[in-house]
Structure 1
Amino acid sequence: MEKYSRRNSRVFVDGDACPVNKEIAKIAKMYDQDVLFVASYAHMRKDEGQNEWKYVDSEAEEVDLYILNMAQRGDIVVTQDTGLASMLIGKGVYVLSPRGKYYNKEDMDQILFFRYASAKERRAGRYPKGGPSSFSENDRQNFKESFIKLLSNLKGI
């Protein structure tokens, strides 16, 4: 993991369908880290608690565009959108999936090719059996460990 230096980094969360929002808020608080959850108005929540939320239009890609425009070198973004991840990595942003996988430059060509090939198959009417695996407690634990490790490294702990 390449280390970028920038003061006052921020965590942005693609919050529309993120299964680890509570874990992000809890861990970020332990590290005194600012977090902004970004979601569309269609996913507005009543139980925001102490967290900061930014709501954007419900049009396709609005959340991604907001995060892409606001995130700066050294920030952290939690998203499962590989297209967004590839653009953010180019800006020097750390990108982590809700399953705890770090996205990096070295893997992006393969990830984006797989995304393209899968979309091409779906357009041709061929769908994989079973779809993606369900989000598990093991995925949640992997995310927590990866997020803690990333924040610890960035804070120099």
Structure 2
Amino acid sequence: MTVIYIDADACPVKAEAEKVATRHGIRMVLVSNGGIRPSANPLVDSVFVSDGPDEADMWIADNAGAGDVVITGDIPLADRCVQGGAKVLKHNGEELHLRNIGQVLATRDLMQDLRSADPFRQGGGKPFSKADRSRFLDALERVVQAAKRG
């Protein structure tokens, strides 16, 4: 049975994902280091991992598998989940899969190298928008329906 796993510490689309999970009657698991209020929704479980680096990522990668959906902005975690057969979505609705994860991972590594080589090349990307939220909802609906079909 399909489960939605969310790398929840910095996830801006938890509420949207919960709406989709509820509409489809599927379990959703919020994984974090703490500081997130558990949902009253009986379909939503909260898993709190220790404060070590990448503990939430390791928990998700160890538990998500084929037919599951993972929501994360962490590209190495996305790579592990894709390799394990899960469907992966970024917060902006971009789907990561076997055909594109290598390129996305390489781009992430390149940008990390550029930032470390130039201390003045800092700052985040563009702010999260209503259009990103809308794309995410559309993509999650599509991915959940596909996962339910098998």
TM-score by length of 1: 0.87
Match of 1:121 in 2: 114
Equivalent AA in structure 2 for residue 123 of structure 1: S
| Structure 1 residues 101 and 33: CA distance shift in structure 2, 3 A | same
Is the Cα–Cα contact under 8 Å of residues 37 and 52 in structure 1 kept in the other structure? Answer: yes
2:146 to 133, 140, 153: 153
TM-score by length of 2: 0.91
Match of 1:102 in 2: 95
Pair 1:48 & 2:39 matched = yes
SS of match in other structure, 1:105: coil
Give the distance between the partners of 1:27 and 1:89, measured in 2 at CA: 21
1:140 to 121, 133, 136: 133
Is the Cα–Cα contact under 8 Å of residues 19 and 98 in structure 1 kept in the other structure? Answer: yes
Give the distance between the partners of 1:134 and 1:63, measured in 2 at CA: 24
Is the Cα–Cα contact under 8 Å of residues 74 and 92 in structure 1 kept in the other structure? Answer: yes
Equivalent AA in structure 1 for residue 58 of structure 2: L
Give the distance between the partners of 1:47 and 1:76, measured in 2 at CA: 20
Is the Cα–Cα contact under 8 Å of residues 121 and 127 in structure 1 kept in the other structure? Answer: no
Aligned length: 147
Is the Cα–Cα contact under 8 Å of residues 79 and 98 in structure 1 kept in the other structure? Answer: yes
Where does structure 1 lack aligned partners over 5 or more consecutive residues? 1-7
Instruction: Measure how far apart 1:113 and its partner are.
Output: 1.2
Q: What do the CA deviations read for 1:70-99 (whole angstroms, capped 9, x no partner)?
A: 112111100011111111111111101111
